[in-house]
Structure 1
Amino acid sequence: MASDLLVDWCTAHNGTFDRSALTFAQTNSLGRGAFALRDLQQGHTLFTLPRHLTLSTRTSSLPSLVGGVDWKKHGLHMGWAGLILCLMWEAAQGTSSKWSTYLASLPIAFDTPMFWSSEDLAQLRGTTVLDKIGKDQAENDYFNKVVPLLKSRADLFGEEHPNPHYSLEVYHIMGSRILSRSFQVEALSTIDSVDSSQTPADEDAEMSLDDPSPHALNDSGSDEAEDYDDSDDEDNPANVAMVPLADMLNARYGYNNAKLFYEEHHLRMATTRSIRQGEQIWNTYGDPPNSDLLRRYGHVDQVPLSDGGLGNPADIVEIRADLVMATAEQRLPQQSGSWSSERVNWWLEEGGDDVFVVDFSNELPEEMTSFVRLLMMSAPEWAKTKPKSKLPKPKVDDVVLSVVADVVRRRLSDYPTTIEDDEALLGSEKEKPISLNLKNAVVVRLGEKRILHGLLRASGGGSKKRKADLTGADGGRAGKR
């Protein structure tokens, strides 16, 4: 099995793996996963991985071979294009690459929307997934950053154009591997911390694999690594790394029972609570909503909800500020044409958000309440507020409730189906199976619509009696997510 080869490879490079504690096997719906071979106690070390086996722009020799100046000249020190090219290059080296066994173990097919047909993508209309797939930006990076370097360095990439090792298709595959399996490896200022969490590379980071001397991890032995790795903040793409073995553990909301811990020379995967024989060993991805799970990993979570249904308790819905503005403008047609844009510009200058997030709590975000109050102010109120440089207080009243109800109705109209349509489709799946892509799309949009319906009920269509529902059970203002 490929997983056995990977374990052998890791142990041959000074890693450790407790073969009596866990094994990798196929799951029903999430590909391969880790399973306990015996009862395990909390704190049991499952495996360790030397830091030099992580694959990043720091550990691959390609950036140093290209040279720091050319690496920056082609913009490969920004975004993921540089790391994607490193994976492509290492794969092109075949068995000459230290990571050949690891790269051979990675998937080449994905269920993420990046690879969906236009018909399947249409089922995601209304969700924010469509705006975050990033396929156009990825292809722009490929043609404007990667291809020019490929053509200018035949000594590294060969004379053949197009080269099958560096095709756009391979670029998308490697990018999807990074999106679904990489870790954010933000540098720590010291090595005293021993606790670190797995976090997807586009999430806030806690774990560090970094070294005080980044070039010390570079296989070429060249100090040129410092030329392209000039920052240690969490946005630095050099902090993104592929972590063999650790990326094989699946995750599910509320199920995590293992965690990756940072140590000076190794990464250590250890149990965080007792695990019984035969149970799956789950890492944590930070419990993202289904929209992010689908976009990054190609699957969704369906666990029991408090209302008895199935879904993801971490689901959220994004409501854009321009939708709120359009709703307010429709209610105040007598205002001059520039009134809303002036207030919106002021709002943004004062640090207000342009997207508001709601969840299953049915609580109205404070900033959305504040924004609605700003838009609905009379001209004299606005004249007093503008010089203060202070956002309006998030006080819920009948006007706010009414506007919120209208906004939610308009937001619901973005979806191609109703909540009843989706529930009926999933309910009849046993008799009439549907495709995996369609099912995942329905689960994502159904979760979002349930949140919106909850907020609509809480607003009561502008009913005064619903204020308490929107501001939390204790009667205080709604919490900001």
Structure 2
Amino acid sequence: MDPVPQHDDLIAEVEAHGGWVNRDAFGLSQFPGMGFGAVAKADLPAQTSLFRIPLTHLLTPFTSHLRRHLSETEWESLGDGWARLILVMMWETERGSESQWYRYLAAMPRTFDTPMFWAAEELEELRGTDIQDRVGKTEAETTYHSLLAPIIMAHPDLFPPGAGNFSLASYHLQGSRILSRSFTIPASRAGQSQDASSVSSKDDEEEDEVAVMVPMADMLNAAYEMDNARLYANDGDEENEITDHGADPDSYTMTTSRSISKGDQIYNTYASPPNSELLRKYGHVDAIPLDDATLALLEAEEVGEWPFGNPGDQVEIQGDEVVRAVLSHRGSSAAADSAGEELMTERIDWWLEEGQDDAFALSFSEEVDEGLVPFTRLLLYDDEWLRAARKGKLPRNIVDQTVAEVLHAAIVSRQSKYCNDLQHDLDIIKAGSASQRRRNAAVVRAGEKRVLKVAMRAVRRKAVADGVPGGKRKSENLDSAGEKIQRTK
């Protein structure tokens, strides 16, 4: 794993702009199946500083000089999303060696295998998955044509006509780089001035955050439960402060979070992303041997001849699927009656105002999502709703027979979105003759379908645990919340 000269230049660029790299500990190398990544050049104990990037070398909408060349109206028209950063990255790429991020931009991937770049027939392989409605290609292209293109055409001196760096294809490339490699930090640390108009009058309101590119930091790959380094803000906070090597308070430092052996890869992984997110952001999936705890949750036919996958896989049950299941249970007339929908809307609004989510993540777990059952009871039972509205308390996390039936219907509804069954996906994976994209899609589908089957059994187990067999109420003197009903005299 010899270092590549291009990446030596990247290290030199960081150092030339006020950064620091621990060259004795940290290197960049090629890793099979993962592209370039970071490698430990020596045995590293935990809390070893690897490199430091000053705030002035972060690539953000505010550290680039592009803003100076646009009118305030043009700049504000780009909004607070990614449009500003994408345009900045397009412009800095066109500037070539004149840009302070020249080596950094040159070291970034030039191609992606994410669904954003798939053909329409390939995207059909993702039907039913959590990715299907999150690719966002149409919305992204609308943003390009409505926000960026007018500014690009109005400034041929800044954005030369015919230059490939300002095309729709380049827009997708830079957007994919942001999706897969950006960090989110407070706007003030990204170089955005905090004037009176941008600072809230509320002392307890959190500062806005923005997506930025952190040179060097995004060279570290991510893998399931392989995290061994973290990026710390040197902001004076005792919990985050890194004092090694004269750390500038206006900087970020990558530090090992546990010991790493010489030659091992250095990973920076946050959470344990499911395959749907890995494919959407990075264009690959994890297919590792499933641990015993995960395999124990699956039936033999669900494992088949492929005991692999991603233990972090998840499937979201949207609130509207629960609503449809509740309305169906309340009767066909209620499902068709706008009054029934209005009733649900009032309860959902209350739920959201309480800071709760209306999407529920199912996973490889014996437990049901802690919000899904209370949400279902809120919609299902009038007495639960009245108590919640009166006392401001969420319904209890109890599954009775009726709740179990509603959740079963919601999960079945989620399963029905796929075009084929689990065995179909396992056959594609095992055959080995499918294209990489088709196989990756099958891996995502298989993981999600396995999770849904596990969730179905988890609901049944909780129904038994929370009541007598059959899900009957424990006592005729308990209401739907499980509280005692006072007898009238």
TM-score computed with the length of structure 2 as normaliser = 0.79
Q: Which runs of 5+ in 2 are unaligned?
A: 235-248, 296-306, 469-480, 482-489
* 1:241 maps to which of 212, 216, 231: 212
* Conserved? CA contact 1:32–1:248, under 8 Å: yes
* Conserved? CA contact 1:458–1:466, under 8 Å: no
* Conserved? CA contact 1:69–1:228, under 8 Å: no
What is residue 307 of structure 1 aligned with on the other side? 294
1:400 aligns with 2:413: no
1-structure distance, mates of 2:175, 2:259: 35
> Between Structure 1 and Structure 2, how many residues are aligned?
428
1:440-464: CA deviation from partner (whole Å, max 9, x where unpaired): 212222221111101112334x995
Superposition map of 1:194-213 within 5 A: 209-210=189-190
1:185 aligns with 2:185: yes
Q: For 1:34, what is the secondary structure of its paired residue?
A: strand
* Conserved? CA contact 2:276–2:444, under 8 Å: yes
1:291 aligns with 2:276: yes
Q: Which runs of 5+ in 1 are unaligned?
A: 189-208, 216-224, 470-476
Shift of 1:387: 6.4
What is residue 318 of structure 1 aligned with on the other side? 316
1-structure distance, mates of 2:31, 2:168: 31
1:252 aligns with 2:223: yes
When the two chains are superposed, the root-mean-square deviation of aligned CA atoms in Å is: 3.0
What is residue 131 of structure 1 aligned with on the other side? 133
1-structure distance, mates of 2:45, 2:349: 53
Query: Do the aligned partners of residues 388 and 109 (structure 1) sit closer, same or farther apart at CA in structure 2, a change above 3 Å counting?
Result: same
* Conserved? CA contact 2:61–2:67, under 8 Å: yes
1-structure distance, mates of 2:395, 2:24: 60
What is residue 168 of structure 2 aligned with on the other side? 168
Q: For 1:262, what is the secondary structure of its paired residue?
A: strand
Superposition map of 1:50-449 within 5 A: 50-72=54-76, 75-158=77-160, 160=161, 163-187=163-187, 209-210=189-190, 214=192, 236=208, 239-263=210-234, 264-303=249-288, 304-305=290-291, 306-308=293-295, 309-331=307-329, 332-335=331-334, 337-352=337-352, 353-377=357-381, 381=383, 388=390, 390=392, 392-429=395-432, 432=433, 434-449=434-449
* 1:20 maps to which of 17, 24, 33: 24
1:6-52: CA deviation from partner (whole Å, max 9, x where unpaired): 11222222322233323222222211111122211222222222221
Query: Do the aligned partners of residues 185 and 464 (structure 1) sit closer, same or farther apart at CA in structure 2, a change above 3 Å counting?
Result: closer
2-structure distance, mates of 1:235, 1:425: 47
Task: Return the letter of the residue paired with 2:464.
Answer: K
1-structure distance, mates of 2:89, 2:387: 53
What is residue 478 of structure 2 aligned with on the other side? none
Q: For 2:411, what is the secondary structure of its paired residue?
A: helix
What is residue 201 of structure 1 aligned with on the other side? none
- In terms of mean alpha carbon deviation, does 439-448 or 171-180 score higher? 439-448
Shift of 1:382: 8.3
Identity %: 37
